[in-house]
Amino acid sequence: MTKLIEQPRHFCALAGQQTVAAIERAIPIVHAGPGCGHKLHCGMAMFNGFQGSGYAGGSAIVSTNTGEREIVFGGEGWLREAIEGALKVMDGDLFVVLTGCTADLVGDDAAQVVSEFRARGLAVAHAETGGFKGNGYFGHERVLEALLEQLVEPCARTIPGLVNVWSTVPYQDTFWAGNLAAVRALLASLGLEANVLFGPGSGGLAAWREIPAAQFNLVLSSWVGLAAAESLKARFGTPLLHWPSLPIGGAETSRFLRAVGAFAGVAEPVIAASIRRHEAAFYYYFERAADFFMEFRWDLPGRFGMVADSFYAAGIARFLTNEFGLLPGHQVLTDDPPEEHRERIGRSFADIAPGISADVTFASDGGLIRSTLKSLAEPPSLLLGTSWDREIAGELGAAHLSIALPVTDRLVLNAAYLGYDGGLRLIEDVYASILSSVQ
Amino acid sequence: MPDKRDPAGVLVRERRLGSITGYDGTALDLVARSQDGRLADRSRSFSQCGTCSSLCATLQLSLLQDAVVINHAPLGCAGDFPMFNLYNRYGLSRRGMNVSNARLISTNLDESDVIFGATAKLLETIGEAFRRYRPSAIFVTASCASGIIGEDLDGALREAEAEFGIPVAAVHCEGFRSQVWASGFDAAYHAILEKIVKPPKIKRPELINVITFIGDDYFAKLFEPLGLKSNLIVPYLSVEKLERLSEAGATAQMCSTLGTYFAAGLERRFGVPEVKSPPPYGLAGTDAFLRELGRIVGKEREVASFIEAERAAIAGELEALRAEFAGVKAFVAAGPAHGHGFMSVLQDLGMTLVGSCTFHHDPRLDNGNGAGDSLSHVVRTHGNVRLGVCNKQSFELVNLIRRLEPDVLIMRHPSVVVWGAKLGIPTFFIDDENFSVGYRGLVRYGRKIRDWFRNPSLERTLARHTRLPYTAWWLQQSPFAFLKEERP
């Protein structure tokens, strides 16, 4: 049985609506109560870096706004009508029906209704995302599964150099769009084409249909997206490379490029040239700011604490520890990973750097997070977390930067923490927070 | 009527007030139908997401400073928590109070909870909330899931009240029960009336409750010359201050859509007179509001001379603004009573109203008195206008606005404003609902709108570089083509 959650850092399975909204020209159709679409827009998009509605999110999300009549008599007829309406009214290439608590509790057979539309040759998919079935990460994976199973057909050819990317969760990761753009640029520097599937320029339905043609699948996260890539391996025989933390900063990103390049069969000189060029730029700024780093460390190095999902936490911790001379304090991982991944994730913090490890707590409840941080013998002097954590950071006397949902104290456009530039950006943002708080 | 309750609390607006969310016609016709009982709702055969009662109920309760709100729901219903936290921190900071997080907890219902019931989990959560915060009161908001599985909130909460010795109130705001999200305000206020407000020990006749959202206290200056003090309720108050609402000399509201049930309840249960008048927006509305307030507190003479002085004080600037706005075509989309207030404000400022859309319509108010009918007030003062009712259906709004080609749009409610802007039309978001209150508010608002509209480059940029998510077919249909025939 799950426990109460105060100060949520992720929401319910229906949050998958934002996964759909992140696909170009895809239209989410929410078969749920009247407030679900808007509440999840608030939590995932608006009050999380102020990401906004985009093309067909926010109040454009199609919704059956389930009422008492549908609870009592069932909502399948109304769903059918709503999909018909959406096909006429909404200018989209792909329509995805997501069921909420109401539909899943009264037992509407949305899969059957949707399959009737697919039988007419229309690109309509269905994901069962009743809020009580799981959290937002679960909902994201249900949407991936639905699209792959229902809309992606085998493809006769393989496109050499095409790489499907399964990485951070759109909207849930406040910086997803910038991060995916960074992955694309990194892969491009090796001569590979990233099929990032979400965000600007990602190609919408056509890109999803191209998935089976990829040379391999790159899972760039601790666990999310792994199941999707494994299903593609089973179905189409597409190889899979799993890189469990976000590559951030110079050393980690170079390590990542070497691994991806080797896996993809990229010629060694091409890999070396890319790394050389990136590192030259990255360490130029590192060198130039060295006076500042040495003279103005304020309360750093102390320990940095983290309240973030496991893929961010691992990537940031490796960068700050291995290249920036900070010591990792307690790491609170908020993404509630499935049991089978926890030991491996915990282990990845045990050897962040030679002789340096970090303790890890898996917690999603704000009360538990606060008591964990308050009980530390060595409290952090820098806390990377969410906007909820401004308060506890203040109580602990720690500097604070919002890097994870919900983010209400900064606007996020194309900022990214992934890659070489992402590392620089992270340092800029940490010190922007510190410098503005001491003046 | 406030006392007409179903066992689970207050009836939703459709049943209590005959409220509707689908209509296409004119203000005059809507007033007539509201009065003669011919008004019937029209549902849709296609719709986009609205908002639900749960969000509106939580908005009012989550900003109480020493209470905790527990949402008895799966975790997605807490999607609005970060928004309330921002409102809380921002509002406290603006008021010079200690900034802290809103106290919001989800019971995080999962599959086994909805199968086996979650009353024990709710009680555990209440216990944990009590241990974490020692709150003065706990509000438990219901959800679609808790409603469908038949959780007995009231029974469970009686047990918790006995254990912890504080009010623990059920808020019946299940989303599926109403398409009128304002029903959630009523559910929250019902809990406050039932569990928190106490009979007065003393009376403070100079204190005027003002039911409002999170805007600044522009009422203070309106009341001060009359020797009255504003008491903005409910956000940012303590439970102890809520207990004493019954001491006030009267209850006013920035918008009867928000406060109809609360104001009527405070009068009926605790004898605090409700100011039954159109809302204090625009010249005639402010006149009527102040006269009624003056009558209640016995200050008719002071009010009369105040009205005269204030009207004279703004006359010059109002005339200048009217000259600037002459011939400007405006469109308003907002919640009903507040939208009606803005229909007055814009027309008082000299604009021509080419159309309007309100997010629902209440044909009557809880006090059963027609004096507060904000729509008939606008029609009487300024004449008829095209009016639609849609619960935030942006496909209808976009279609309608494109047809009417207004020069400016005035919109309330997050997440619809952007669609006006994408049409390239200067679009003003009504952020602080109290900003335009009274005579000074009229010119204050005029200045603000004038400056906003002076440089519409943001909207033009958006229109040039974005696409609407609607088909060409839809944009050629009648805006309300998906409204079904009336059903009684």
Cβ contact (<8 Å) for B49 and A34?
Answer: yes
Cβ contact (<8 Å) for A68 and B176?
Answer: yes
pLDDT at residue number B224: 95
Distance CA B99, CA A391 (A): 9
Instruction: Read off the pLDDT band of A300 (50, 70, 90).
Output: low
Has domain A298-437 been given CATH number 3.40.50.300? no
**Distance, in angstroms, between B77 CA and closest chain A CA?**
7
Cβ distance A345 to A309 under 8 Å? no
Q: How many CB atoms lie within 10 A of CB B98?
A: 8
Give residue-wise pLDDT tens across range B387-419.
999 999 999 999 999 999 999 999 998 889 999
Taking CA atoms, B270 is separated from B153, B235, B238, in Å, by: 26, 21, 19
Cβ contact (<8 Å) for B55 and A35?
Answer: yes
* Residue ranges of domains in chain A: 13-151, 159-279, 298-437
Q: Which two tokens stand for residue B206?
A: 């100079």
Could you tell me if A51 lies within 8 Å of chain B, comparing CB atoms? no
Closest residue to B395, CB basis, from A34, A89, A136: A89
**Distance, in angstroms, between A88 CA and closest chain B CA?**
7
Tell me if residue A300 falls in helix, strand or coil. Answer: coil
Tell me if residue A331 falls in helix, strand or coil. Answer: strand
Residue (of B70, B63, B123, B49) closest to B95 by Cα position = B63
ipTM of the complex: 0.96
pLDDT at residue number B173: 97
pLDDT at residue number B20: 96
Could you tell me if B376 lies within 8 Å of chain A, comparing CB atoms? no
Start-to-end CA span in chain B (Å) = 20
Tell me the residues of chain B between 454 and 473 that have a Cβ less than 8 Å away from chain A: 466-473
Could you tell me if B120 lies within 8 Å of chain A, comparing CB atoms? no
Cβ distance B140 to B126 under 8 Å? yes
In chain A, the residue whose alpha carbon lies closest to the alpha carbon of B398 is A60
Give residue-wise pLDDT tens across range B97-119.
999 999 999 999 999 999 999 99
| Residue-range domains of chain B with CATH | 53-177+180-195 (3.40.50.1980), 317-476 (3.40.50.1980)
Could you tell me if A55 lies within 8 Å of chain B, comparing CB atoms? yes
**Distance, in angstroms, between B485 CA and closest chain A CA?**
15
Q: Which two tokens stand for residue B208?
A: 């005027």
Residue (of A261, A321, A253, A327) closest to A283 by Cα position = A253
Sign of CA dihedral B417, B420, B424, B426: negative
Closest residue to A12, CB basis, from B47, B74, B149: B74
Residue entry with tokens 């603004």: B321
Instruction: Read off the pLDDT band of A156 (50, 70, 90).
Output: confident
Provide CB contacts within 8 A for B131, sequence distance 6+. none
Give chain A's radius of gyration (CA, Å): 22
Q: Which two tokens stand for residue A2?
A: 């799950």
- Percent of residues, chain A, with pLDDT higher than 90: 94
Tell me the residues of chain B between 281 and 320 that have a Cβ less than 8 Å away from chain A: none
Domains A13-151 and A298-437 alike in fold: yes
Residue (of A255, A359, A370, A254) closest to A303 by Cα position = A359
Taking CA atoms, A410 is separated from A53, A179, B97, B296, B462, in Å, by: 17, 17, 22, 47, 22
A8: which chain B residues are within 8 Å (Cβ-Cβ)? 75, 78, 81, 106
Cβ distance B401 to B409 under 8 Å? yes
Burial B28-65 (b: 16+ CB within 10 A, else e): ebbbebbeeeebebbbbebbbbbbbbbbbbbbbbbbbb
Cβ contact (<8 Å) for A11 and B52?
Answer: no
Instruction: Read off the pLDDT band of B487 (50, 70, 90).
Output: low
A132: which chain B residues are within 8 Å (Cβ-Cβ)? 74, 109-111, 113-114, 145
Could you tell me if A1 lies within 8 Å of chain B, comparing CB atoms? yes
Could you tell me if B201 lies within 8 Å of chain A, comparing CB atoms? no
pLDDT at A100 over 50: yes
Closest residue to A90, CB basis, from B74, B391, B470: B470
Residue (of B378, B381, B473, B460) closest to B424 by Cα position = B460
pLDDT at residue number A181: 98
Cβ contact (<8 Å) for B79 and A42?
Answer: yes
Residue (of A10, A392, A5) closest to B128 by Cα position = A5
Distance CA B426, CA B450 (A): 11
Closest residue to B108, CB basis, from A2, A27, A63: A2
Reply yes or no: is the peptide bond before residue A89 cis, omega within 30 of 0: no
Q: Which two tokens stand for residue B435?
A: 């900003």
Sign of CA dihedral A147, A148, A150, A154: positive
- Best of B176, B417, B422 to substitute, by most chain A Cβ atoms within 10 angstroms, is B176
- Residue A74 φ/ψ, nearest 5 degrees: 90, 150
pLDDT at residue number B4: 43
Q: Which two tokens stand for residue A107?
A: 């037992």
**Distance, in angstroms, between A50 CA and closest chain B CA?**
11
Closest residue to A59, CB basis, from B103, B415, B474: B415
Instruction: Read off the pLDDT band of A301 (50, 70, 90).
Output: low
- Percent of residues, chain B, with pLDDT higher than 90: 95
In a 10 Å sphere around its CB, with 0-12 CB exposed, 13-18 middle and 19+ buried, how is residue B311 labelled?
middle
Q: What type of residue sits at position A84?
A: E
Q: Which residues pair with A99 in a beta bridge?
A: A31, A128
Cβ contact (<8 Å) for B85 and A387?
Answer: yes
Residue entry with tokens 């039988």: A119
pLDDT at residue number B68: 98
Distance CA B96, CA B108 (A): 34
Closest residue to B111, CB basis, from A37, A64, A132: A132
Give chain B's radius of gyration (CA, Å): 22
Give residue-wise pLDDT tens across range A37-91.
999 999 999 999 999 999 999 999 999 999 999 999 999 999 999 999 999 999 9
Per-residue H/E/C for chain B: CCCCEECCEECCHHHHCCCECEEEEEHHHHHHHHHHCCCCECCECCCECCCCHHHHHHHHHCCCCCEEEEECCCHHHHHHHHHHHHHHHHHHHHCCCCCCCCCEEECCCCHHHHHHCCHHHHHHHHHHHHHHHCCCEEEEECCHHHHHCCCCHHHHHHHHHHHHCCCEEEECCCHHHCCCCCHHHHHHHHHHHHHCCCCCCCCEEEEEEEECCCCCCCHHHHHHHHCCEEEEECCCCCHHHHHCHHHEEEEEECCHHHHHHHHHHHHHHHCCCECCCCCCECHHHHHHHHHHHHHHHCCHHHHHHHHHHHHHHHHHHHHHHHHHHCCCEEEEEECHHHHHHHHHHHHHCCCEEEEEEECCECCCCCCCCHHHCHHHHHHHHHCCCEEEEECCCHHHHHHHHHHHCCCEEEECCCCCHHHHHHCCCCEEECCCCCCCEHHHHHHHHHHHHHHHHHCCHHHHHHHHHCCCCECHHHHHCCCCCCECCCEC
Tell me the residues of chain A between 20 and 49 that have a Cβ less than 8 Å away from chain B: 27, 30, 32-44, 46-48
pLDDT at residue number B37: 87
Cβ contact (<8 Å) for A89 and B81?
Answer: no
Closest residue to A42, CB basis, from B80, B149, B391: B80
Distance CA B354, CA B340 (A): 14
Give residue-wise pLDDT tens across range B39-64.
999 999 999 999 999 999 999 999 99
Cβ distance B289 to B208 under 8 Å? no
What average pLDDT does this structure show over B247-275? 97
B105: which chain A residues are within 8 Å (Cβ-Cβ)? 4-6, 367
A31: which chain B residues are within 8 Å (Cβ-Cβ)? none
Tell me if residue A134 falls in helix, strand or coil. Answer: coil
Tell me the residues of chain A between 368 and 407 that have a Cβ less than 8 Å away from chain B: 387-388, 391, 405-406
Secondary-structure class of domain A13-151 per CATH: alpha beta
pLDDT at residue number A439: 84
- Best of A3, A4, A20, A25 to substitute, by most chain B Cβ atoms within 10 angstroms, is A4
Cβ contact (<8 Å) for B144 and A101?
Answer: yes
Residue entry with tokens 């093309």: A55
**Which CATH code is given to the segment(s) A159-279?**
3.40.50.1980
Closest residue to A60, CB basis, from B89, B109, B469: B469
Cβ contact (<8 Å) for B132 and A367?
Answer: yes
- Percent of residues, chain B, with pLDDT higher than 70: 98
What average pLDDT does this structure show over B456-479? 97
B50: which chain A residues are within 8 Å (Cβ-Cβ)? 34-35, 38, 63, 65
Taking CA atoms, A106 is separated from A135, B163, B178, B375, in Å, by: 20, 35, 18, 39
Residue (of A147, A119, A137) closest to A205 by Cα position = A147
A100: which chain B residues are within 8 Å (Cβ-Cβ)? 76, 144
Cβ contact (<8 Å) for B391 and A135?
Answer: no
Give residue-wise pLDDT tens across range A346-385.
999 998 999 999 999 999 999 999 999 999 999 999 999 9
CA A37 from chain centre, in angstroms, equals 19
Distance CA A348, CA A380 (A): 20
- Best of A95, A132, A336 to substitute, by most chain B Cβ atoms within 10 angstroms, is A132
pTM: 0.97
Average pLDDT, chain A: 96
Q: Which two tokens stand for residue B448?
A: 């603000």
Distance CA A198, CA A180 (A): 8
